[in-house]
Amino acid sequence: DSDAAHRREQGIHMGQHIQIQNFIDGAMVPPCNGNYMDNIEPATGRVYGQVPDSDAHDIGAAVTAAQRAFPAWSATPVEQRARLLERVADLLESRLEAFAKAESRDQGKPVALAKMVDIPRAVSNFRYFAGAIRHHEESATHMDGKALNYTVRKPVGVAGLISPWNLPLYLLTWKIAPALATGNTCVAKPSEMTSMTAWLLAEVLQEAGIPPGVCNLVFGTGPKAGAALVGHPEVPLISFTGGTETARRIIRDSADGFKKLSLELGGKNAYIVYADADLDQCLPTTLRAAFTNQGEVCLCGSRLFVERPIYERFLERFTPMVEAMVVGDPTQPETNMGALISQAHLKKVRGYIALAREEGGTVHCGGTRPDLPSHLDGGYYLRPTIVTGLTPTCRVMQEEIFGPVVTITPFDSEEEVIAFANGTRYGLSATIWTRDVSRAHRTAHAMDAGIIWVNTWMLRDLRTPFGGMKASGVGREGGAHSIDFYTESQNVCIQF
């Protein structure tokens, strides 16, 4: 009911201690084992609630509920499913402010960013897949007057959906919306570090009239709840977004079940600036590409390559922009960067800054904690950091840091920068800045990456394929690719 939902949302903002519950079969339920973990606010380092530490029992109950709900949901007319998803979108949109504040408190990102990016995108995910499923068509193949082949798409069953902590609701709904639109039911397991907005979403799903058991949310850690979901024999499909090493584990754990897998993984994305780039447009976009969401975006341009003739000029103009970024209280409108997700992650990112020095690099700016008011003393803050002087094969330029650290390296030719860009195990995205159309096409074509941007960054059209090559992933989602993934196609051949 909306009054209870409103009270809960208010509670979060009033600083109340919030105990999250699992959402199984349309009801909020405690974890079977009664265990909870502390939920920490990254901006202050303080515990502000608890998250269930669910295990295989909770996953089992959620899968049973999803299986029970499957026959009716998959038989629900497309138009009706689409309308329900639109209702979810509308309700979410009407609570934009509350969701954005909750996302920020749970994750550390600026409220302004969650308001502009995370929550609107979650709304679009539901709206987009409601539309996509309404307009989806299949074709038939006529065989020389002898036979007709037609193909039908069937939902797979109970979808297992596992998401990371960087863009919590945005990435979770990128899975829930197409899974439900195509007639699957699901069990979703968000990151244990960012469960809050998924829990709030449960109320929205209820209020929108999504039937019990169609979308279940189980909160807990990867090794316990996540692994139980991946290994569950009645879950034929896993959509996972997260780290490359976790994905390896998931591939192994799902092998016995021959599961359908979609894996959206890490990146170490090249960001190439040719000497003819329009720097007035390029520089502000580069700032976003490097440091949006504290650099905790899989698509962040973390390896900048700048053509030698403009290298010094680029650094001279870019450095003051980076130094002027406001790092601090995520609730303040002027804040550009909030807190990193956790103490452990901050330590890891700082470790890479130390390693950059050992590897012969120079910390050109940042690398330290900003001075902040005392109520933020326990928070996980780091100034945006530029490292120069490294060779592209060193660890800092090979491993995903996933924080506000970029390397800037000069290059001398198209050939050289293509080799630098492709010289990692990752292949998620690449960005190219040039005014030379032929060179833009040539460089884009040469990139071993799934997503290429030219003279822009993170401009997303939900119809386009999204995903990575090499260690950045397996499969594509988005538009028809999502509909493909969340269904089994079946061909029927009829001889005349």
The contact set with ligand NAD (CB under 6 A) reads 162-166, 171, 189, 191-192, 221-223, 226-227, 230, 241-243, 246, 249-250, 264-267, 298, 400, 402, 428, 468, 473
Q: How far apart are CA 195 and CA 52, in angstroms?
A: 9
Residue whose C-beta lies closest to ligand NAD: 222
Q: How far is the CB of 251 from ligand NAD (least distance, A)?
A: 10
Q: How far is the CB of 34 from ligand NAD (least distance, A)?
A: 20
Q: How far is the CB of 135 from ligand NAD (least distance, A)?
A: 25
Which among 9, 264, 400, 477 is annotated as catalytic? 264
Q: How far apart are CA 334 and CA 329, in angstroms?
A: 9
Q: How far is the CB of 223 from ligand NAD (least distance, A)?
A: 5
Q: How far is CA 358 from the centre of its chain?
A: 32
- Give CA separation, 411 vs 16, 85, 278, in Å: 53, 48, 18
- Give the nearer residue to ligand NAD in terms of CB position, either 236 or 410: 236
- Give CA separation, 93 vs 89, 123, 125, 206, in Å: 6, 6, 12, 15
Q: How far is the CB of 164 from ligand NAD (least distance, A)?
A: 3
- Give the nearer residue to ligand NAD in terms of CB position, either 197 or 434: 197
- Give the nearer residue to ligand NAD in terms of CB position, either 183 or 266: 266
- Choose among 429, 290, 307: nearest CA to 364: 290
376 secondary structure, DSSP code: G
51: tokens are 């998250």
One DSSP character per residue, 228-277 reads: HHHH-TT--EEEEES-HHHHHHHHHHHGGGT-EEEEE----EEEEE-TTS
Q: How far apart are CA 170 and CA 491, in angstroms?
A: 34
327 secondary structure, DSSP code: B
Q: How far is the CB of 229 from ligand NAD (least distance, A)?
A: 7
Residue 252 CB partners (closer than 8 Å, separation 6+): none
264 is catalytic: yes
User: Which pairs count as long-range contacts for 367-372, CB under 8 Å and 24+ apart, including other chains?
Assistant: 370/327, 370/328, 372/328, 372/329
CB–CB of 434/479 below 8 Å? no
Q: How far is the CB of 319 from ligand NAD (least distance, A)?
A: 26
Q: How far is the CB of 141 from ligand NAD (least distance, A)?
A: 34
Integer-rounded Cα radius of gyration of the chain: 23
- Give the nearer residue to ligand NAD in terms of CB position, either 111 or 227: 227
- Give the nearer residue to ligand NAD in terms of CB position, either 163 or 407: 163
- Give the nearer residue to ligand NAD in terms of CB position, either 200 or 229: 229
- Give the nearer residue to ligand NAD in terms of CB position, either 51 or 353: 51
20: tokens are 């999250």
Q: How far apart are CA 228 and CA 221, in angstroms?
A: 10
- Give the nearer residue to ligand NAD in terms of CB position, either 61 or 82: 61
Q: How far is the CB of 67 from ligand NAD (least distance, A)?
A: 20
| Beta pairing class for 158-162 and 185-189 | parallel
Instruction: At 333, give phi and psi (nearest 5°).
Output: -65, -25
Q: How far apart are CA 290 and CA 332, in angstroms?
A: 21
451: tokens are 């997503």
- Choose among 279, 490, 286: nearest CA to 408: 286
Q: Could you give the residue numbers annotated as active site?
A: 264
